[in-house]
Structure 1
Amino acid sequence: MSVLRNTLTQSTWTLGSRLLGFLRDVVILAKLGAGPVADAFFTALMFPNLFRRVFAEGAFAQAFVPAYSRTLEAEGPEAAEKLAEETLRGLFAVTAFLVVIAQVAMPWIMILLHGGYRNDPVHFPLAILLTQITMPYLSFMALAALLSGVLNSGGRFAMSAAAPTLLNFSLLIGAFIGGNNYEIARSLAVAVSVAGLLQVILLWYGVSRQKIRLRLGFPKLTPGVKRVAALAVPGTIAASGMQINILVSQALASFETGAKTWLYSADRLYQLPLGLVGVAVGLAILPRLARAARSDDQVQSQSVMDNGVGLAMALTVPAAAALMAAPFLFVDSFFTRGDFTSADAHQTARALFHFGWGVPAFVLIKVLAPGFFAREDTKTPMAYSLVSVGVNTVLGASLFFFLKSQGMDGFPGLAIATSTAAWVNAGLLFLGLGRRNWYAPGAPLLRRLASVLAASAALAALLWYLAARTDLIASYTLDSKFLAAVVIGFTGLFAYGVFALVFGAIRPSELKPARKG
């Protein structure tokens, strides 16, 4: 199965989940607005988003899949099933213990994550309560990640990609339960943990359909579990860098009322290409890279990486161009309603612009890291990830407090730091692969990247022109900003398809495997 076909399978389901997620966020922002209650809820939601992205969107799976696949090929299905069950038990025990500790320590943890509200007698306790309610999602996401890894190792991508839609459905229901925003925030927090349980049930069913029987029980530190842990712990930390950076940014943002909500709203928009492309390509190329590494097939490894990087950049550089060329257009059209005002949209657009130029780096991290994971080297990406966390923390705090000292908003500095740290991480991964002679981009890829930049520049110019005429376009779309944005978006999508073919960013031959699927 081709990289493109696997990517399309993953991305199609992810697209549905992300579109549903947009509807979810529109409803939540309209209900809560941008203020102390919303900041408290989005603080609580940071944990589910962190664990979903770290575990469910590939980090744990990228460490677990090579070990599981090697056992499956070398020792057979029974040994692989035993390894999965032993790992499942150990993972559940560890994460359940962490949940209990976090519940008890949450008042002190919240001082770090929500310190700007520590003297607020109403909203600081609210943030503690909401986060305690959402914490069980950690255990559920860990289990879901392992179950997804088992499915992905067998070439089954659809169910693991579909599972996150349950979180969106649950939150949509929760948003309509409660008479005021405090009650709504509590019902939303409950919906998060309920969604985690539903995801585990769905994926467990999917695994059982593959004739793989897994059971929870008392954990044992077997050699197989030790081997998976040796890979998974550094690998999970490695893939957590960007999420830790977001956590740091959100903690600093608590010192500006509304900033957490603005950053969260911007995050939802720039995470779309990351989820659709970066995660999907990373998951699609990992099994093929692992097989090439085991057979020492450098030609195949080079081809898979070139295809992965080329496809990822052909799809994400234009997304970055769109977010930078018309950030306010998309934020205002999608999110401005109810208690979320046009002023909030302007603030969100400022953050989105700076997140935009980091999007290619966010995606490259997801595509380059499997080059290490496939060879069961998870410690090197972990080290690079920790460096990026240091860069983000120092630069983010410096910019945030410098801008505030100058009488300006500090939160745009946090977005700048997050994108800068992502480029540092991606650069280190690229250099690390090169030093080990594991990967160097071929000449055709470099030519293709130049074509992608040219096509994306043309797209950015077109979108900037159209965004400046939003009111005129809206006059032909029932005076709806939302419909105008949709028209502009689809115009840009069609135009980029033309630009990409003209400049050679995407080749028609690449679409053949997808049509055959």
Structure 2
Amino acid sequence: MSDTQAAPPKAPGLLRSSAVVAVMTLLSRVLGLARDIVIAAMVGATANADAFFVAFKIPNFLRRLFAEGAFSQAFVPVLAEYREKGPFAAVQQLIDRVAGVLGGILLLVTALAVIGAPLVATIFAPGFYNDAAKFALTADMIRITFPYLFLISMTGFAGAILNSYGRFAVPAFTPVLLNISLICAALFISPRMTEPAMGLAWGVMIAGICQLTFQLPFLKRIQLLPRPRWAWRDEGVQKIITLMIPALFGVSVSQINLLLDTVIASFLPTGSVSWLYYSDRLVELPLGVFAIAIGTVILPSLSRHNIGADKTSFSGTLDWAIRAVLLLGVPAAVALFILAEPVLITLFKYGELAMRDVEMAAWSLRAYTFGLLAFMLIKVLAPGYFARQDTKTPVKIGVIAMVANMVFNLIFAIPLHHYYQLGHVGLAAATACSAWLNAALLFRGLHRSGAYQARSGWLLYSLRLLSATGAMAGLLWLLLARVEAWDALGAGARALEMVLLCGGGALVYAAVLALLGVRLRHFRGQTTKL
């Protein structure tokens, strides 16, 4: 294999690669919804459900920092630099040493967490401490789920290598295995256990093993299967660590805010953690399918443009990414706001989940939709910093946003008066507000530094986008039945109605855009004016 393969892809490759990642991610998210339907039917929004969601969220949150978040954003630019400036042997050596150091640190963190599971439960769900059974179950499940951190972070490391070499489909498909594993665990393991939620915890562990094993043959195919070596003082390893430490905040602030929400929600009425989980899962669908896919694809491209000092292409890639996120994010946020109850009823109101749970989750879902576009913009703006190996600016912005989130929590979520108790809805609203602050500061920094300069046509593009979204929203309001009528429908009828609603809304949105002159070819080149 030669380094000539590292030539920068043309702009059309961004669209095709984003589409590949989006399709694979969509498959994963659809199966994820199927997984959550099974979980909701089995455990609903009970105390045991709260315990499982906390036990699963902790390693999942840390995974996003180690794998998808800070590590990936620090590792990919350095790997791109080694590919451009050094021989293949140097690339292999970097991968081997990073695998050794990252794996060693993760093993240590995992071992400490398993040993100190009650302490971990106290830190992340202090509100459970007064409920002995709930607290004990949470600690027991943390011991089972926490090794997932090591397994999935190494999976993320493997995926970052594959993405850097243009193999986007395999890492994008890998999360499907988590959903399949949890569905199988819910159907075949949980019914055979005294506490069904414990079967889900074992499903998480099995998923991590499957996901890591799945990617190894593809690394071997490109001759980059890691051979872990502990080399803490290696120049490349130190550079990645230097970039990664501040990036822990810079790229993952929204996830930190969500975790803080879980901590506060543990003090709120039983079900609050679950309500936030179900609403967050729906927000994660467009976020994962669109924004994370685009952010994943543009990072290697931005890194190459930065190494080549191609400021025009760098700015053009960011402009393309922002327009693509708005094209998909604006209608998604509006549709989720309008269809909150019907979507939740269609997906989750089976078995143990009651109508009150749907109503509570719908309120937090609507609060999250106000921040959805900000969540998506963060995913494509942050790579603009990390591709230039600038982690100091995002960490400053991240700290500001996190402090702001806590202030918003005090304003919206903490009951200050018996007439003013927004509870879990306030937590979602606070997260949305801090996300907008984060996105705005990231955008301002890129613009002021000259890394991003908006291209012409933004006013016309915005008017077209808002017109199409307005037409879609009008159709959804006209067709939407009362919540009570929707609840009375059977599972098949709910699904059919939802497909017709979403399909009709999407067709109207696309038709209005087409009538106003927006074409798919406009997104195939970075220099095309919209």
Question: Residue 106 of structure 1 aligns with which residue?
Answer: 117
Question: Residue 373 of structure 2 aligns with which residue?
Answer: 360
Is 1:116 paired with 2:130? no
Is 1:169 paired with 2:211? no
Matched to 1:494, the amino acid is L
Per the TM alignment, residue 253 of structure 1 is displaced from its structure 2 partner at its CA by: 0.9
Per the TM alignment, residue 457 of structure 1 is displaced from its structure 2 partner at its CA by: 2.3
Is 1:210 paired with 2:222? yes
Deviations 1:335-375 (Å, cap 9, x if unpaired)? 11100122211111000001011111001001011111111
Check whether the contact 1:273–1:319 (CA below 8 A) recurs between aligned residues: yes
Per the TM alignment, residue 104 of structure 1 is displaced from its structure 2 partner at its CA by: 3.0
Question: Residue 298 of structure 2 aligns with which residue?
Answer: 285
Residues 411 and 251 of structure 1: is their aligned pair in 2 closer, same or farther, counting only changes over 3 Å?
same
Is 1:189 paired with 2:201? yes
Residues 467 and 181 of structure 1: is their aligned pair in 2 closer, same or farther, counting only changes over 3 Å?
farther
- Counterparts of residues 138-153 of structure 1 (less than 5 Å): 138-153=149-164
**4+ residue runs of structure 1 moved beyond 6 angstroms?**
470-479
2 CA distance for matches of 1:322 and 1:428?
27
Per the TM alignment, residue 286 of structure 1 is displaced from its structure 2 partner at its CA by: 1.2
Question: Residue 500 of structure 1 aligns with which residue?
Answer: 513
2 CA distance for matches of 1:467 and 1:11?
28
Question: Residue 295 of structure 1 aligns with which residue?
Answer: 308
Question: Residue 237 of structure 1 aligns with which residue?
Answer: 249
Matched to 1:195, the amino acid is A
Question: Residue 384 of structure 1 aligns with which residue?
Answer: 397
- Counterparts of residues 17-416 of structure 1 (less than 5 Å): 17-176=28-187, 177-179=189-191, 183-255=195-267, 256-402=269-415, 405-406=418-419, 408-416=421-429
Check whether the contact 2:98–2:237 (CA below 8 A) recurs between aligned residues: yes
- TM (normalized to structure 2)? 0.92
Which of these residues, 448, 453, 456, is aligned with residue 466 of structure 2? 453
Question: Residue 418 of structure 1 aligns with which residue?
Answer: 431
Matched to 2:213, the amino acid is I
Per the TM alignment, residue 265 of structure 1 is displaced from its structure 2 partner at its CA by: 0.1
2 CA distance for matches of 1:499 and 1:231?
44
Question: Residue 429 of structure 1 aligns with which residue?
Answer: 442
1 CA distance for matches of 2:440 and 2:166?
30
Check whether the contact 1:17–1:162 (CA below 8 A) recurs between aligned residues: yes
Per the TM alignment, residue 485 of structure 1 is displaced from its structure 2 partner at its CA by: 1.4
2 CA distance for matches of 1:388 and 1:81?
38
2 CA distance for matches of 1:181 and 1:42?
18
- Counterparts of residues 456-475 of structure 1 (less than 5 Å): 456-468=469-481
Per the TM alignment, residue 497 of structure 1 is displaced from its structure 2 partner at its CA by: 1.1
Residues 410 and 356 of structure 1: is their aligned pair in 2 closer, same or farther, counting only changes over 3 Å?
same
Matched to 2:217, the amino acid is Y
Check whether the contact 1:474–1:483 (CA below 8 A) recurs between aligned residues: no
Deviations 1:279-317 (Å, cap 9, x if unpaired)? 111111112211221222221112111111001110111
Q: Greater shift after overlay, 465-474 or 77-86? A: 465-474
- TM (normalized to structure 1)? 0.94
Residues 204 and 180 of structure 1: is their aligned pair in 2 closer, same or farther, counting only changes over 3 Å?
closer
Structure 1's unaligned 5+ residue stretches are: none
Check whether the contact 2:178–2:204 (CA below 8 A) recurs between aligned residues: yes
Per the TM alignment, residue 92 of structure 1 is displaced from its structure 2 partner at its CA by: 0.7
Q: Greater shift after overlay, 261-270 or 60-69? A: 60-69
Per the TM alignment, residue 183 of structure 1 is displaced from its structure 2 partner at its CA by: 2.2
Check whether the contact 1:65–1:153 (CA below 8 A) recurs between aligned residues: yes
SS in 1 for 2:273: helix
Check whether the contact 2:381–2:443 (CA below 8 A) recurs between aligned residues: yes
Check whether the contact 1:281–1:367 (CA below 8 A) recurs between aligned residues: yes
Matched to 1:157, the amino acid is F
Question: Residue 15 of structure 1 aligns with which residue?
Answer: 26
Per the TM alignment, residue 488 of structure 1 is displaced from its structure 2 partner at its CA by: 0.7
Per the TM alignment, residue 499 of structure 1 is displaced from its structure 2 partner at its CA by: 2.3
2 CA distance for matches of 1:161 and 1:483?
28
Per the TM alignment, residue 77 of structure 1 is displaced from its structure 2 partner at its CA by: 1.4
Check whether the contact 2:63–2:152 (CA below 8 A) recurs between aligned residues: yes
Check whether the contact 2:415–2:422 (CA below 8 A) recurs between aligned residues: no
Check whether the contact 1:55–1:141 (CA below 8 A) recurs between aligned residues: no
Per the TM alignment, residue 461 of structure 1 is displaced from its structure 2 partner at its CA by: 2.2
Q: Greater shift after overlay, 400-409 or 40-49? A: 400-409
Per the TM alignment, residue 257 of structure 1 is displaced from its structure 2 partner at its CA by: 0.7
Q: Greater shift after overlay, 206-215 or 412-421? A: 206-215
2 CA distance for matches of 1:24 and 1:340?
14
2 CA distance for matches of 1:249 and 1:351?
12
RMSD: 2.2
Deviations 1:137-181 (Å, cap 9, x if unpaired)? 111122112111111111110000011111101101111223488
Q: Greater shift after overlay, 479-488 or 134-143? A: 479-488
SS in 2 for 1:345: helix
Residues 6 and 435 of structure 1: is their aligned pair in 2 closer, same or farther, counting only changes over 3 Å?
same
SS in 1 for 2:328: helix
Check whether the contact 1:404–1:410 (CA below 8 A) recurs between aligned residues: no
Alignment size in residue pairs:
512
1 CA distance for matches of 2:377 and 2:511?
24
Check whether the contact 2:279–2:364 (CA below 8 A) recurs between aligned residues: yes
